[in-house]
Amino acid sequence: MNAPSLTIASEKNSYPVFIQGGLRHECFSYIREALQKSVSSYMIMIDENVADLYLADLLASFPENIQPTVTKIASGEGSKSIEKFSQLLTEALEVPLDRQSVIIAVGGGVTGDLAGYVAASYMRGIRFIQMPTTLLAHDSSVGGKTGINHPLGKNLIGAFHAPSAVLYDSDMLRTLPETEWRSGFAEVVKHGFIKDTAFLEWLEKKVMSFSDIPSDILNEMLRRSIAVKAEIVQEDEKENGVRAFLNYGHTLGHALESELGYGKLTHGEAVAIGMAFAHKLSERVFHTTLPTKTHEIYMTKLGYQLSIPEGISAASLLQRMKLDKKAEHNRIRFVLLEEMGKPVLLPVEEQVVLDLLVSEGVNA
Ligand X SMILES: O=C(O)C(=O)C[C@@H](O)[C@H](O)[C@H](O)COP(=O)(O)O
How many chain residues bind ligand NAD (CB under 6 A)? 32
Residue nearest to ligand NAD (CB): 109
Of 185, 162, 169, 167, nearest to 233 (Cα)? 162
CB of 240 to ligand X, least distance (A): 12
- Residue 145 touching ligand NAD (CB under 6 A): yes
| Furthest C-alpha separation in the chain | 65
What residues are paired with 55 via a beta bridge?
A: none
- Catalytic residue selected from 37, 124, 205, 329: 124
Binding residues for NAD(+), by number, are 75-80, 109-113, 133-134, 145, 154
- Catalytic residue selected from 180, 239, 257, 269: 239
What string of DSSP letters covers 168-228?
Answer: E-GGGGGG--HHHHHHHHHHHHHHHHHH-HHHHHHHHHH-S-STT--HHHHHHHHHHHHHH
From ligand X, ligand NAD, none, which one binds at residue 259 (CB under 5 to 8 Å depending on kind)?
none
279 as an active site residue: the answer is no
- Residue 169 touching ligand NAD (CB under 6 A): no
Rg (CA), the chain: 20
- Catalytic residue selected from 161, 182, 224, 267: 267
322 as an active site residue: the answer is no
- Residue 166 touching ligand NAD (CB under 6 A): no
- Residue 176 touching ligand NAD (CB under 6 A): yes
CB of 358 to ligand NAD, least distance (A): 27
- Catalytic residue selected from 229, 295, 320, 326: 229
For ligand NAD, which residue of 19, 172, 308, 332 counts as binding (CB under 6 A)? 172
- Catalytic residue selected from 182, 191, 247, 269: 247
Question: Contact, 198 vs 183, CB < 8 A?
Answer: no
- Residue 274 touching ligand NAD (CB under 6 A): no
CB of 155 to ligand X, least distance (A): 3
**CA pair distance 360, 284, nearest whole angstrom:** 13
Name which of 50 and 275 has its Cβ closer to ligand NAD. 50
187 as an active site residue: the answer is yes
Question: Contact, 259 vs 312, CB < 8 A?
Answer: yes
- Which parts of 46-85 interact with ligand NAD (CB under 6 A)? 47, 49-50, 53, 75-77, 80
- Residue type for position 125: G
239 as an active site residue: the answer is yes
**CA pair distance 45, 11, nearest whole angstrom:** 28
Question: Contact, 267 vs 255, CB < 8 A?
Answer: no
- Site track 178-207 with ligand NAD (rule: CB under 6 A), x = hit: --x--x---x--------------------
Of 221, 72, 103, nearest to 165 (Cα)? 103
Give CA separation, 248 vs 229, 269, 348, in Å.
Answer: 12, 13, 14
247 as an active site residue: the answer is yes
Q: What are the start-end ranges of the H helices in 207-313?
A: 215-235, 250-260, 267-286, 292-301
Any residues with CB less than 8 A from the CB of 336 and at least 6 apart, and which?
278, 281, 282, 285, 286, 343, 344, 345, 346, 348
For ligand NAD, which residue of 7, 175, 300, 313 counts as binding (CB under 6 A)? 175
Name which of 182 and 314 has its Cβ closer to ligand NAD. 182
Residues that bind ligand NAD (CB under 6 A): 47, 49-50, 53, 75-77, 80, 107-111, 113, 133-134, 136-137, 139-140, 143, 145, 155, 172-173, 175-176, 180, 183, 187, 266-267
Which residues are tagged catalytic?
124, 145, 187, 229, 239, 243, 247, 250, 254, 267
